[in-house]
Amino acid sequence: MQMTEIKCPSCGGKMEVDPKNPNIEICSQCDKKYVIHWNRSVSTGEERFELTPVPESIAYEPVKRKEPKKTGWEPYGWKRGVALVILFFVLMGIMYGPKVYRRYQMDHGGIATETQDK
Ligand SMILES: [Zn+2]
């Protein structure tokens, strides 16, 4: 495949292949990154390419990137999960603890007089 000189769609500068990613071309002038897609034409066998801007590299443009709203809970995500599990078991203990305790006492000859309707 012959090396076609790729020009930056934005400024016309020479594009160079990203050493980290051969599918990405970086403009040597404005440092914009583009994903390159090669398409071989079926009829002519000619290779053509398309450049798609890489959205991660918009540091040079004052484009407002949409950031997910932070709640402040992100670093505590797993801790909150653990806390919910613990809370669940505490609630279960509160709800079923006395029954289990009474059952235990009954099984061991404890207070059997207060037998509730079963
Ligand atoms: Zn450029």
Closest CA to 26 of 16, 14, 36: 16
- Measured in angstroms, how far is the CA atom of residue 100 from the centroid of ligand 1? 73
Closest CA to 35 of 51, 21, 17, 22: 51
From first to last of the 118 residues of the chain, give the pLDDT tens digit.
455 688 999 899 999 999 998 889 999 999 999 998 888 888 888 888 888 888 765 555 555 667 777 776 666 678 888 999 999 999 998 888 888 888 888 888 765 555 556 5
In degrees and rounded to multiples of 5, residue 47 shows phi and psi of -95, 130
- Measured in angstroms, how far is the CA atom of residue 64 from the centroid of ligand 1? 20
- What pLDDT was estimated at residue 59? 55
- Measured in angstroms, how far is the CA atom of residue 116 from the centroid of ligand 1? 83
- What pLDDT was estimated at residue 67? 73
Ordered by start, the domain boundaries in the chain are 1-65, 74-107
Q: Where are the alpha helices (DSSP H) in 48-76?
A: none
- Measured in angstroms, how far is the CA atom of residue 26 from the centroid of ligand 1? 8
- What pLDDT was estimated at residue 12? 94
**How far does Cα 16 stand from its chain's mean position?**
30
